Amino acid sequence: VAAEITRAHSGAPGPAVVFICIDGYAAIQQEFGDRAGDALMRQVAVSWRTLLRPDQVLARRGDDGFALMLPAATEQEAFALTEQLRVVSSREISAGVSAWDS
């Protein structure tokens, strides 16, 4: 992240970060257990990675969510990718996008 912010200070497009939650995750985890919840998160991550470039970093964040770091991405690009992730998801998602404003 620090390298991306440094690059943004030089006038290049800055990073965007997307926080994504899997809606209804807690209910799945309660009904079917931690293993089922973890399996769901792995399944979601595998399906999403097919849409990501090698320099885009997806990390699990807490029980029900992910953080996605998009180097040199505009807010519009981050929203477009988030929509693609929503379309391929087996579950509903909620997401928030934050982009570096240079």
- The catalytic residue positions are 64
> Can you tell me the distance from the alpha carbon of 41 to that of 8, in angstroms, rounded to the nearest whole number?
32
The sign one gets for the Cα dihedral 49, 52, 57, 21 is negative
How many Cβ atoms sit within 10 Å of the Cβ of residue 38?
13
